[in-house]
Chains A and B, each alone.
Chain A
Amino acid sequence: MALRDIKPTRSELINVKRRIKLSERGYNILKMKRDGLILEFFKVLQQAKDSRGALLERYEHAMEMIALAETVEGAIGVKAAAFSAAESPAISLKSKNIMGVVVPEIQASSVRKGVLDRGYGMLGTSAVIDETAEAFEDLLEAIIEAAEIETTMKRLLDEIESTKRRVNALEFKVIPELSEARDFIKMRLDEMEREELFRLKKIKARSA
């Protein structure tokens, strides 16, 4: 706000003072929100670290199992068994609110299946196919869990970032500018008062 655009009036001073008060209240609330989000973020960060570790572990196990299945059954046997997968896992998205941030809640069904529900016959396959399918079901579960946690973390980070920007804007731009405007109006009003007093004195001296 440029100082030249400010009208140095009493009503403007009251208006600016009201805006300063409002900005200071907003600044305090946003600062508290930022701190709360940071606390929440660190909680999610720990979960994300754990889920990422579990994801890596399960990925390595699944890769080891697929290599083993291809070793034992051949790529042809593994592909033929994969043809049996009739039902794809279904994913439903819900949302929950963390301090005003809307984060996803992912619910999956038909990820983990029993040995009899995978679609292949027991008599034409071997146990390594069971073990590989189980390893990939574990991996898919870990991916879904990690996706939920990491999206939550990303949204929290974005919100922290924008809240931080707002706090900084209030602290370093809006409040100082309003304070400057308030001081300017005060100064101009004082000056105008002094001018008025001087003018009155002059008129009084001339008429005397």
Chain B
Amino acid sequence: MAGVSSGSAQYIYACTRLRVRKSLLIPREDYLRMLNMSLPEITRFIGETAYRSEIDELGTSFSGINLVEVALSWNLAKEYQSILELVPGDLKHFTASYLRRWDIQNVVTVLRGKMQKMQPGKIKEVLVPAGRLDRVVLDRLVAEESPERVAEALKGERFYPVIERELPGALETGSFAHLENELYKSYYARLIADAKEGVKGGDIFLKYIQLEIDIRNIQNLFRLRAGHVHEDVRELMIGGGSFTVDELQRLSGLESRDEFIDALKRQVKMVPLLNALEEIRGKTALHGIEVALTRVQLDQMERMSKRYAFSILPILVYLEKKKYEVANLRALARGKEAGLPGERLQGYLVM
């Protein structure tokens, strides 16, 4: 349980170390340079950075684009696990809570794989052990025979009650969508509860989590509009943000896109988000909308972490920035392989 900090020394230690690590992340200029490189040049560039050991280790098993992608995922998982070891006391607990989204992703993937009777090797390929459940635990889950046995093996985990409640329905319908949504909703509810429990910087973190929830909800409203979903969307919205679930339901009912953006703008107070919403008005591609909103989220997080230098925020900023570094490098490599032009590729990078 995240309680009150036992002292500021642990915050200073952890925040300083992660600030140093953040300074080692690939800067914007390097991404711009990589936009003009070929795939082998990008692979070599990545091999000369912090990803060298993974590239060397996996070089015999993978090649080309798969080598880059697997090495990036391994590095991300290793880095997150090392941060979990590095951060002391309450911060460890809180960081582990934040990284549980990876556990949710992995557990849902294992459940789906087991439901579809996939080979364990195929399931393992798509797991990224970047959360609290490490590779050993995930291997054990993958080795289980059925989704029910996987759920049994998760007894004692924080999200077990949700799995226990939702699994029978998922097995009956054959769809884990509702289970997945419920897991993410409980994840955010738990983060909010943790932030309110008195961790240093908790109130600031709460604001950040609310922003993340708002942005996720807005992104999903845009997706639902694009999918012409007119039914009750309350089940698909995350509670705890600055919009209530009923307000989000009302927003989803608005017919015109301009009217929808205007209604959102009336309720949003944060200037960067207001600007992003105005910028979105001219965009039609859903992914472009998502990237614009994600950028607002990261900028805001960065700003908060500078204002509250010794809190949980610098750790979370590093975790997010690392995630987007991996996403950017993967996007560059995959985009180059697919022959996407540099200007278009730049639109998908979160820099």
Contact = CB atoms under 8 A, between A and B. Distances in A.
A120 B177 contact: yes
Nearest to B179: A121
A124 interface: yes
Contact of B69 (A74, A87, A119): A74
A79 B126 contact: yes
Contact of B126 (A83, A86, A121): A83
B185 interface: yes
B206 interface: no
Given A74-B69, A76-B69, A122 B177 contact: yes
Contacts of B227: 114-116, 130
A160 to B, nearest CB: 43
Given A121-B176, A123-B185, A130 B223 contact: yes
A70 B335 CA distance: 8
Contact of A80 (B105, B185, B228, B340): B105
B45 to A, nearest CB: 17
A128 interface: yes
Contacts of B50: none
A126 to B, nearest CB: 6
Interface size band for A: 20 to 34
Interface residues of B, number: 55
A70 B109 contact: no
A118 B177 CA distance: 8
Contacts of A9: none
A127 B180 contact: no
A119 B177 contact: yes
Given A71-B340, A76-B128, A83-B126, A124 B180 contact: yes
A72 B286 contact: no
Contacts of B112: 80, 83-84
A71 B128 contact: no
A128 B331 contact: no
B290 A127 contact: yes
A151 B330 CA distance: 42
A124 B105 contact: yes
B281 interface: no
Q: Can you list the 7 inter-chain pairs with the closest CB atoms, starting with the nearest?
A: A121-B180, A115-B227, A67-B338, A127-B286, A123-B184, A86-B174, A83-B112
B116 interface: yes
Contacts of B219: 126-127
A128 B185 CA distance: 21
A116 B177 contact: yes
Contacts of B104: 124
A46 to B, nearest CB: 32
Interface in B132-186: 174-181, 183-185
A97 to B, nearest CB: 38
A127 B177 contact: no
Given A115-B227, A121-B184, 6 more contacts: A80-B109, A86-B116, A114-B229, A115-B223, A121-B177, A122-B224
7 contacts: A68-B348, A74-B73, A83-B113, A114-B228, A119-B174, A123-B236, A126-B287
Interface in A78-135: 79-80, 83-84, 86-87, 114-124, 126-128, 130-131
B280 interface: no
A114 B174 CA distance: 16
A131 B125 contact: no
B334 A71 contact: yes
A71 B338 contact: yes
A32 interface: no
Interface in B213-246: 216, 219-220, 222-224, 226-229, 231, 236, 238
A75 interface: yes
B32 interface: no
Contacts of B335: 67, 71
Contact of B223 (A67, A70, A87, A127): A127
Contacts of A116: 177, 227, 229, 231, 236
